[in-house]
A and B are shown apart, each in its own frame.
Chain A
Amino acid sequence: MATLSSPSFSVIDYLAEERGKDLFRFSTAGSVDDGKSTLIGRLLYDTQSVYEDQVRAIEGKGTTVPGQIDFALLTDGLRAEREQGITIDVAYRFFSTARRKFIIADTPGHEQYTRNMATGASTADAAVVLIDASKGVLEQSLRHAYIASLLGVRHIVVAINKMDLIGYAEQQFRSIEHDFSLLLNRIAQDTGNPVDCVFVPVSALAGDNIVHRSSAMNWYAGQSLLEVLESLPPSRNSRLDPFRFPVQRVIRPSHTFRGFAGQIASGTVTVGDFITVLPSGKTAQVTRIVTFDGDLESARSPLSVTLVLDREIDISRGDLIVAAGSQATVARNLDAALVWMDLRPLQRNRRYLLKHTSQTVPAVITAVNHRTHVGTLQHEAATTLELNGIGEIALHLMRPIAVDLYRHNRNTGAFILVDPETNSTVAAGMIHAIHDSTAQGKPLHGSSGPLTAEERSARWGHRGGVLDLKAPEDLVDLIERDLLLHGFIAVRINADDPSPSSDHSLLDAVVQRVVDAGLIALIAHQPDSDEITAHSGSYTTALAADSPAQAIAAVHELLRRAEIAVNTQKAGLQ
């Protein structure tokens, strides 16, 4: 990086360099007095990210020996925090290096402020967990690591601080490293999210291995804390993930323009892509990607854009636009990990408001599957969760929404719960399992006698019917696989096989049984010309030979028209 003092400093070069920087968010937490605030103050100070007047304002104050700046005072922003010498709420700090812009969420270590720790971890790419080398692993470090992992933070950087107090001894560092690695493994197993960890021995007060590598610990060959943070990949959803776009707003300035505004939650969208709108299941093609700065050919997560589609379909705020070939699941019954954040404990069967992407749905917690004791990672039987409690629950939504599992998507797999009386945000949730793939969440209780078509479709999530494909075998394979992924149960019958289906009456009888059972009879024929078609009910559609994604989208549309696929939204609102 050109520095100001070099005579060749050029602001134009500087700005070009700035444009090459990305943004990296990390959270920090640890037990009280582990030195977290000092560490952050040190990172800011050593990267020249604090101004002199801010340093002057804290000189001679705080708890350090005279002459030494108490860096913690740079970050503890509330009066109560300075008076009590503890961190109560998240403070956000900013600094940049030649490679990156950083946002730190400095979070409290106290158990009673766990919810603020979760706030900081929810958007973090990495978590820096502090351990006081003279004290070893305390529950707070464990708690932070657990919450970071639960919230899908992949990279955990363990800074073992106050190495100066133990004479920079390698042995103690290694033993903490060993113990905490084992704990991190168990945490990763419990949360189901993989954890990558790095251990760095530091002294925040003296500045060892914070920004610069320290000569006091020659036995340590690794990177300084800042070097580690500069080289970690961000853990956000990548552009290679399936396209997800929660609609925030319909933009309609005139009769000639109708666009859907939102922020791309994951993946990439390109003009010409086929998309499906959930939960309605309607399909369309993207004709424009509109921004104030001009139309784009293609856009990726996390840009905020406005999509224009090729046909008038009913779309409103809260709908999820997805790639036609890889859809999210529309569901009303979910299992989720929950962090409870309110003084009033969780109440089963009480109505909460669930906010997921850009929509809010009433929901009830039908069961607490277990409570996790973070100190021991034991699962305990429980009927409620109290403030700062963590556990797994079963949820029932009043109307179906389109979701992904949290481990697949940090945006479309997350939700918060709001108490409709107090309006407090009472819980943060991460979807772990989806129990129904359709809107038909109604229990099938009390029935006897022969099964009805309604009961079957409630169970399968679709109606019975015939899907006739004249298509090459590999395309039929793709379509069959896609149907399976979307919860359709199809029985494939290759019509060209010599026996026994060459007997037409037998074939017809088999097909009829399949349809009566509420399943899809997927009949595959070799195409006799290069025309590839799908036929169902009284509808026939030509399939694009060169684009499997388009062909699959067309099949979905066909199943809807033939009323094999159920219109999930309507069903859910009944």
Chain B
Amino acid sequence: MPVTQIAAQSLPVPIPVPSSHEHLSHLRLLEAESIHILREVASEFERPVMLYSVGKDSSVMLRLAQKAFYPAPIPFPLLHVDTGFKFAEMLSFRDEMARSVGAELLVWRNESAIAAGTNPIALDTRRCCGLLKTQALLDALRHYKFDAAFGGARRDEEKSRAKERIYSFRDSAGQWDPKNQRPELWNLYNARVHPGESIRVFPLSNWTEMDVWQYIHEEKIPVVDLYFAKERPMYVRGEALLPIEQAFVAHRDEMPQMVRSRLRSLGCSPCTGAIRSDADSIPAIISELLSFRNSERANRAIDHDQEGSMEIKKREGYF
């Protein structure tokens, strides 16, 4: 459904300052809950880390971490799992963000799998993710002995994510047992683990995609340019728009076209399709979102390879 009209694009919107007599908006309530979670983890675990994936959810999570410890700096490092297939713009943005918030940034790559030429075309997407994301993540957590890792996943993203606790227990192999999760009542989180076990923490559990964009808008949080529409070279295959980045294998005689497009969610370039769009500002993205008939993961190849594929990946240790 096309959006017929988008009014004044970037009017400054004042950030509502809460006072005791005012109504608290849902964003303030979500923010307060997330900050509480961030502070609990930083205080109860010995070596927490924040998974920073460069996307919009990570950007919100990073801002919440700044807020939680202000005026002190963020008391844990950021970790980026680089598959080697990330968009170049993502990497430069990542480095710039870490610098500007003054956080320590760790980058981890499964170098042996990357050197062996692992890619989603030769392998299926599931095995590719298994090596470049899940394995790399588990290796990094083990190497640094992190006992808690924040992730920006939201319960509204996908059915098995809807079942996640805020503190999601992982055994010493990093695996999730969805049928046997710890009860989680009120805001009392059980942070106890034996050596080698860990907790994945999801401070954005109760945020929706719309909440995230509204928060980015109100808080003026920087996001990667790939989210905004502009003319980009794409291979067009039916409905799909495939961005040209590393490791793209074109068909014979296939030529890229310039398409006004953007990414709705950021992943690895071979597995992330773009969408045709004119949304070149946050308000425009929000109105586009209102008109969408498909979920944000519809353009991600990795979630469709198998019924319940996210659950399987998560059981194996994926975020």
Which A residues form the contact surface with B (CB < 8 A)? Answer: 4-5, 7-15, 18-23, 51-54, 75-80, 82, 88-94, 96, 101, 103, 115-116, 118-119, 122-123, 151, 239, 248-249, 251-253, 257, 259, 261-263, 268, 270, 290-294, 296-300, 302-304, 306, 317, 341, 353, 355-358, 410-411, 414-416, 418, 420, 423-425, 428
Given known pairs A11-B7, A77-B311, A425-B182, the reply for A303 and B188 (CB within 8 Å) is no
Q: Kindly state the separation between the CA atoms of A76 and B26 in the bound complex, as whole angstroms.
A: 26
Give the residues in chain A near B72, CB-CB below 8 Å: 251-253
Given known pairs A303-B32, A304-B31, A355-B188, the reply for A14 and B286 (CB within 8 Å) is yes
Q: Kindly state the separation between the CA atoms of A86 and B292 in the bound complex, as whole angstroms.
A: 31
Question: Which residues 15-71 in B have Cβ within 8 Å of A in the complex?
Answer: 15-20, 23-33, 35-36, 39-40, 42-43, 66-71
Given known pairs A299-B18, A414-B186, A414-B188, the reply for A263 and B71 (CB within 8 Å) is no
Given known pairs A53-B298, A290-B70, A296-B17, the reply for A15 and B286 (CB within 8 Å) is yes
Given known pairs A253-B72, A302-B33, the reply for A119 and B188 (CB within 8 Å) is no
Can you sample 26 A-B contacts with CB below 8 Å? A9-B3, A12-B13, A18-B25, A21-B25, A53-B294, A78-B311, A92-B156, A92-B162, A94-B156, A101-B208, A115-B183, A253-B73, A290-B70, A293-B15, A293-B17, A293-B67, A297-B19, A302-B24, A304-B35, A353-B192, A356-B188, A414-B188, A416-B183, A416-B188, A425-B184, A428-B185
For the complex formed, measure the closest distance between the CB of B144 and the CB atoms of chain A, giving whole angstroms: 22
Q: Kindly state the separation between the CA atoms of A52 and B292 in the bound complex, as whole angstroms.
A: 9
Select which of B33, B40, B184, B214 is within 8 A of A358 by beta carbon.
B40
A298 touches B19 (CB 8 A): yes
Which B residues form the contact surface with A (CB < 8 A)? Answer: 1, 3-8, 11, 13, 15-20, 23-33, 35-36, 39-40, 42-43, 66-73, 155-156, 158-163, 178-179, 181-188, 190, 192-194, 205-206, 208, 210-211, 214, 217-218, 283-284, 286-287, 290-295, 298, 307-308, 311
Give the residues in chain B near A10, CB-CB below 8 Å: 5-8
Given known pairs A304-B68, A418-B190, the reply for A89 and B185 (CB within 8 Å) is no
Q: Kindly state the separation between the CA atoms of A9 and B286 in the bound complex, as whole angstroms.
A: 12
Given known pairs A51-B298, A94-B208, A251-B69, the reply for A15 and B217 (CB within 8 Å) is yes
Q: Kindly state the separation between the CA atoms of A79 and B159 in the bound complex, as whole angstroms.
A: 10
Give the residues in chain A near B32, CB-CB below 8 Å: 263, 302-304
For the complex formed, measure the closest distance between the CB of B194 and the CB atoms of chain A, giving whole angstroms: 7
Given known pairs A263-B32, A268-B20, the reply for A414 and B286 (CB within 8 Å) is no
Give the residues in chain A near B42, CB-CB below 8 Å: 249
Give the residues in chain B near A249, CB-CB below 8 Å: 39, 42-43, 69
A248 touches B3 (CB 8 A): no
For the complex formed, measure the closest distance between the CB of A143 and the CB atoms of chain B, giving whole angstroms: 16
Given known pairs A18-B214, A298-B20, the reply for A291 and B70 (CB within 8 Å) is yes
Q: Which 3 pairs show the lowest CB-CB distances between chains A and B?
A: A77-B159, A10-B7, A304-B35
Closest to A123 in B: B186
Given known pairs A263-B32, A302-B29, A423-B194, the reply for A9 and B287 (CB within 8 Å) is yes
Q: Kindly state the separation between the CA atoms of A383 and B91 in the bound complex, as whole angstroms.
A: 60
B163 touches A304 (CB 8 A): no
Q: Kindly state the separation between the CA atoms of A428 and B290 in the bound complex, as whole angstroms.
A: 40
B1 touches A4 (CB 8 A): yes
Closest to A353 in B: B192
For the complex formed, measure the closest distance between the CB of A226 and the CB atoms of chain B, giving whole angstroms: 17
For the complex formed, measure the closest distance between the CB of B281 and the CB atoms of chain A, giving whole angstroms: 9
B26 touches A23 (CB 8 A): yes
B185 touches A414 (CB 8 A): yes
Question: Knowing that A4-B1, A51-B295, A415-B188 are A-B contacts, what are 20 other residue pairs whose CB atoms are under 8 Å apart, sorted by A's residue number?
Answer: A11-B283, A12-B283, A19-B25, A20-B25, A23-B29, A77-B161, A91-B159, A91-B163, A92-B155, A92-B163, A119-B185, A291-B67, A293-B15, A293-B67, A302-B29, A303-B18, A306-B70, A317-B43, A355-B188, A411-B186
Give the residues in chain B near A356, CB-CB below 8 Å: 188
Give the residues in chain B near A19, CB-CB below 8 Å: 16, 25, 27
Select which of B11, B43, B67, B183 is within 8 A of A292 by beta carbon.
B67
B162 touches A77 (CB 8 A): yes
For the complex formed, measure the closest distance between the CB of A523 and the CB atoms of chain B, giving whole angstroms: 38
B286 touches A92 (CB 8 A): no
Give the residues in chain A near B16, CB-CB below 8 Å: 19
Q: Kindly state the separation between the CA atoms of A564 and B45 in the bound complex, as whole angstroms.
A: 39
Select which of B162, B283, B291 is within 8 A of A93 by beta carbon.
B162
Give the residues in chain A near B161, CB-CB below 8 Å: 77
Given known pairs A54-B295, A291-B67, A414-B188, the reply for A248 and B40 (CB within 8 Å) is yes
Q: Kindly state the separation between the CA atoms of A93 and B308 in the bound complex, as whole angstroms.
A: 18
Given known pairs A414-B188, A423-B194, the reply for A299 and B20 (CB within 8 Å) is yes
Closest to A6 in B: B4
Central interface residue in A4, A22, A291, A414, by most chain B CB within 10 Å: A4
Give the residues in chain B near A75, CB-CB below 8 Å: 159, 162
B39 touches A304 (CB 8 A): yes
Q: Kindly state the separation between the CA atoms of A252 and B75 in the bound complex, as whole angstroms.
A: 12
Give the residues in chain A near B186, CB-CB below 8 Å: 122-123, 410-411, 414, 416
Q: Kindly state the separation between the CA atoms of A380 and B310 in the bound complex, as whole angstroms.
A: 45
A23 touches B30 (CB 8 A): yes
Given known pairs A12-B8, A92-B206, A249-B43, the reply for A270 and B20 (CB within 8 Å) is yes
Give the residues in chain B near A22, CB-CB below 8 Å: 23-26, 29
A94 touches B217 (CB 8 A): no
